[in-house]
């Protein structure tokens, strides 16, 4: 254990790289999921089918295979620049998260009652305005919990970046293991790091879920109903 602790500065640097990758891919995946999920619900058949094919194309191979393709294979083709290991990792993992998150967004939007959309059309709102101002805010109460579970998996996906040379906490941990031969200690530390990161991610999304407008309105209505009926809160 003492030999491993001598490499603590390297471990903290690798942990920061892991956190940075996670902080980049989660917002990117969220934005991509909203866009792809909206396209999946488009009334235009070409857009709907194109988005579905793109989602399946990204989800079909494993994230590691897709990462190898983007980093090693695509730069061989003429006119395609080679991305840095960090940029390639962020791009691939964000796209993979967006592909999985798109189905979460689609199901969340479809859970909103059809009458909400009909009312928006009756008021003269465009489809984009209906989605962004009425439907999506209500759907977030369904989307955020499921997307929170996905992001916890995405935090663990960051371990894949070490396969293309990104010096994340797993990369550094393997280096320390090779120097000290403290295999059990090193992998116990890595497991603890990933556990802490996933717990923090879950707490962040639980806090976000708590402040969503629809959830706050439901809590206020429940409190008002309990107060009116005289039931202790």
For residue range 196-225, what is the model confidence (pLDDT) as tens digits? 999 999 899 888 888 776 666 656 666 666
pLDDT given for residue 222 in this prediction: 66
List the single range of 9-18, 143-152, 208-217 with lowest mean pLDDT: 208-217
CA atoms within 13 A on the CB side of 83: 18
Q: Given pLDDT bands bounded at 50, 70 and 90, which one contains residue 8? A: confident
Question: Whole-angstrom Cα distance, residue 215 to residue 150?
Answer: 20
Summarised one tens digit per residue, pLDDT across range 77-121 is 888 888 899 999 999 999 999 999 999 998 888 887 777 777 777
* CA-closest candidate to residue 139, choices 102, 110, 101: 110
- Name the residue ranges covered by the structural domains of the chain: 2-202
Residue holding tokens 């990792």?
Answer: 89
Q: What are the helix (H) ranges across the chain?
A: 2-5, 8-40, 45-59, 63-68, 85-111, 114-122, 127-130, 136-157, 169-180, 183-210, 213-229
pLDDT of residue 26: 94
Which residue's structure tokens are 């089918």? 49
What's the CA gap between 104 and 110, in Å, rounded?
A: 10
Phi, psi angle pair for 29, to nearest 5°: -65, -40
**2-202 sits in which CATH class?**
mainly alpha
Q: Which two tokens stand for residue 141?
A: 């109460």
**Which residue bears the tokens 């003269």?**
124
Q: Which pLDDT does position 221 carry in this prediction?
A: 60
């Amino acid at each position: 254990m003492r030999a491993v602790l001598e490499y603590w500065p390297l471990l903290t640097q690798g942990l920061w790289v892991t956190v940075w990758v996670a902080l980049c891919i989660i917002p990117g995946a969220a934005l991509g999921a909203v866009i792809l999920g909206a396209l999946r619900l488009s009334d235009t058949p070409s857009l709907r089918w194109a988005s579905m094919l793109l989602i399946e194309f990204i989800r079909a191979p494993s994230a590691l295979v897709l990462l190898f393709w983007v980093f090693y294979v695509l730069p061989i083709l003429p006119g395609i620049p080679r991305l840095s290991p960090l940029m390639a990792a962020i791009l691939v993992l964000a796209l993979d998260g967006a592909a999985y998150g798109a189905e979460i967004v689609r199901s969340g939007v479809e859970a909103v009652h059809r009458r909400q959309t009909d009312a928006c059309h009756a008021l003269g709102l465009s489809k984009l305005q209906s989605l962004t101002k009425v439907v999506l805010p209500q759907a977030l109460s369904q989307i955020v919990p499921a997307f929170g579970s996905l992001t916890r998996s995405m935090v663990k996906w960051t371990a894949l970046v070490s396969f293309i040379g990104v010096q994340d906490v797993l990369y550094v941990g393997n280096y320390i293991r090779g120097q000290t031969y403290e295999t059990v200690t090193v992998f116990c530390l890595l497991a603890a790091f990933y556990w802490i990161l996933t717990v923090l991610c879950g707490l962040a999304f639980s806090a976000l879920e708590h402040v969503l407008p629809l959830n706050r309105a439901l809590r206020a209505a429940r409190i008002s109903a309990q107060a009116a009926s005289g039931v202790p809160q």
